[in-house]
Structure 1
Amino acid sequence: MSVYLHILSPGTHSLKYFYTGSSQVPNFPEFVAVGMVDNVQMFYYDSNNPRAMPKQDWMNKAAEGDPQYWERETGIAVGTQQVFKASIEIVKQRFNQTGGVHSWQQMYGCEWDEETGATDGYNQFGYDGEDYVSLDLKNMRWIATAQTAVITKHKWDQDRALTEGLKHYLTQICIDWLKKYVDYGKSTLKRTVPPSVSLFQKNPSSPVTCHATGFYPRSIMVFWRRDGDQVYEDVEHGEVLHNEDGTFQNSVHLTVKPEDLDSGRYECVVQLSGVQEDFVTKLERSVVETNHGNTGRTNPGAEGSGPSGLIIGAVVGVLLLVAIVCGVVIWKKKKDAKKGFSQANTSDDGSNSSNNTAPKA
């Protein structure tokens, strides 16, 4: 199963909430929730310690003018937890299931392009790791992606107040809070940190890896060029991973012949959002780090470069995945991000940043 986080274009900001309700999962909370702004975790709740809490210092600004902010967020999470528990039981009956490990998951959120003013909203539910039902916001109708979800689709289609409430939240309330959060965290969310780039190879027959780490924001392009043209064959791209310090890392692997190491034809190119200059590292045998101890770090100054940095970063990424599974919804299929977030029934008091009670399946 894969976790998919939408990589936003420059100038685009996102607010996302990820909920997971589960049953009979050993050593795992019955309900967990995570909120993220621009893919940075800023909110956390789980049923083992039932209190919503900030994950970024700048989130405390939300409570400066609203002392009840975190109490209200806790109340929302507690109410949603009960509805998720009921939804699991409802869907289990539809599948004729009596016991075992099961999950009911939700993603919702919105995006705002700071440059153009364009906005969008997303809505999706899943059951046991598979897509279940989602909201077509444009046409104001629900789409069932599982046969057993047709009942839920018809039930929610008939509840026009629910659908209209979702539209209002996703297109207005969510956007308003997104703008507030971006302003609260602008020193973090709008910063730019250049990458540290290194080349390494496990052994002479292994691909050469170009590893960029310590960069921010997440939006980055890492690729190989040969004689000035981008290489597509014999290239494998890695996923963007989190570093423990809040920065990111990414790698791209190139299969080359040993004689190509000193041909001068290849170079790794890193393009970071918000930075005009490309970071270019020419492929030369002398700068490729191997198990024999050659040093291949370039652009020094950021932690986590080289093979050890990649391994550490990957471990951190796995640990983060385990932690964020409390909030990041796990779907087996990677979906287009514009079909990837969901929202539950909301009220229109203009004060809540996340949703109120979610509808039962």
Structure 2
Amino acid sequence: MKNQMCLFFLLFLFCHISSAVKHSFKCYRTASSGLQNVSEFMFFGKVDDVVVNQCDSTNKIFKPKQDWVVKLYNEDPEVLQAGRQECFVIIPFFFKHVIYNLTRTLQTEGAILQCIPGCELDETTGQFSGFVHCGYNGEDFLRLDLKTLKWIALSPQASIIKQIWDRNTTIIEYYKDLINHRFPYLLQRFLEYGRKSLMRTDPPSVSLLQKTPSSAVSCHATGFYPDRALMFWSKDGEEIHEGVEHGEILPNHDGTFQMSVDLNVSSAEDWRRYHCVFQFVGAVDRIITELDGTLIRTNRVKPDNLTVPVIAAVVVVVVMATAGGYMAYKMKKEAEDSTEPREDTNLNTETNTAH
């Protein structure tokens, strides 16, 4: 059993899980009605969860969000023009009609509709896959089945809208063209210009921290890039959730990121069964840190280490006290000597009188 456990840990620590390299492009499109200080139509695009452009139709804003996207727009004006057309013409045209029918049919005054069309590329097979999801007022609403080209209702109130949208072949054909042609082309162009930036990975420095012997052990990773990362605690090779508290991913001043995950451990002899695991999303490699008490960094001082400092402090106090007593005695003695008549002076006086 012990040999099997050792073999399991070797497999867990050193074997890699095969995974295909995938890239995605998603466009988060939002339409609102009856809300103050909120643009009626806007969207932002993401490649591999990195924001690449932003649109605000109401305020006539369309701009790139990455330097390599600026370069793409400068060298391929057709891509820029297509984005501006989508922002200022197509989306307001479609969404204005849709949001109007939604608020009238569902009898709501203020409403937010968000539709997320997107595509994914599997670089291993070279195949694209797509999707269209829509939410209404923060809840799942409709999803387009790209095989049947029919909408799937995700909530009771969406059933009425599904029937209306199923009859609107213009919108369905628009999304079909978007998913099958325009988005795959855009994703390829974005990857062509931004691959170096998108594929950049800076591994973290991982430390084990603990404030007191009774507090949780914190596994802290810092200096990693990008922020698409996971970190968790495992026991005997299985991810655990009980007694675990996850922190948020926070930015560092140099553009990298940091995060931590805390673990409450009650039994010291079981510590080596626990491991902190860090992994970039979609990556194969993992950084695994064993919960070893000798590796834990803390700012507390162990009792054993206090012996020498305490002895040294006592010696210093004794020396200072002795020195101080000697100085006081010396000063008092000098004062007493200065007030008494000196014998040589009297002798000199008597001698002078005799002469």
TM-score between both structures, scaled by the size of structure 2: 0.67
Match of 1:13 in 2: 23
Match of 1:95 in 2: 106
Q: Decide whether aligned partners of structure 1 residues 277 and 66 sit closer, same or farther in structure 2, where only a CA change above 3 A counts.
A: closer
Contact 2:153 2:159 in 1 (8 A): yes
Contact 1:217 1:247 in 2 (8 A): yes
2:158 equivalent among 126, 149, 156 = 149
Match of 1:268 in 2: 276
Q: CA deviation at 1:139?
A: 2.6
Matches of 2:255 and 2:41, distance apart in 1: 25
Q: Decide whether aligned partners of structure 1 residues 113 and 243 sit closer, same or farther in structure 2, where only a CA change above 3 A counts.
A: farther
Contact 2:114 2:136 in 1 (8 A): yes
RMSD: 3.3
Matches of 2:36 and 2:269, distance apart in 1: 50
Match of 1:40 in 2: 50
Q: Decide whether aligned partners of structure 1 residues 219 and 67 sit closer, same or farther in structure 2, where only a CA change above 3 A counts.
A: closer
Contact 1:199 1:209 in 2 (8 A): yes
Match of 1:127 in 2: 136
Deviates more, 1:41-50 or 1:62-71: 62-71
Q: Which amino acid aligns with 1:115?
A: T
Structure 1 residue runs of 5 or longer lacking an equivalent are 1-8, 295-361
Q: Which amino acid aligns with 1:93?
A: R
Larger radius of gyration: 2
Q: CA deviation at 1:279?
A: 4.2
2:134 paired with 1:113: no
Q: Decide whether aligned partners of structure 1 residues 284 and 169 sit closer, same or farther in structure 2, where only a CA change above 3 A counts.
A: same
DSSP-derived class of the 1:125 partner: strand
Percent identical: 36
Match of 1:52 in 2: 62
Q: Which amino acid aligns with 1:260?
A: A
Q: CA deviation at 1:250?
A: 4.4
Contact 2:43 2:55 in 1 (8 A): yes
Match of 2:92 in 1: 81
Q: Decide whether aligned partners of structure 1 residues 34 and 102 sit closer, same or farther in structure 2, where only a CA change above 3 A counts.
A: same
Matches of 1:242 and 1:15, distance apart in 2: 24
Matches of 1:260 and 1:48, distance apart in 2: 60
**1:330-345 map, 5 Å:** none
Matches of 2:245 and 2:130, distance apart in 1: 29
Match of 1:229 in 2: 237
Contact 2:118 2:183 in 1 (8 A): yes
Q: CA deviation at 1:111?
A: 0.2
TM-score between both structures, scaled by the size of structure 1: 0.66
2:146 paired with 1:137: yes
Match of 2:289 in 1: 280
Aligned residues: 281
Q: CA deviation at 1:115?
A: 1.1
DSSP-derived class of the 1:147 partner: coil
DSSP-derived class of the 2:29 partner: strand
2:207 paired with 1:198: yes
Matches of 1:146 and 1:277, distance apart in 2: 39
Q: CA deviation at 1:114?
A: 0.6
Q: Which amino acid aligns with 2:275?
A: E
Q: CA deviation at 1:198?
A: 3.0
Structure showing greater relative contact order (alpha-carbon pairs closer than 8 Å, 6 or more residues apart): 1
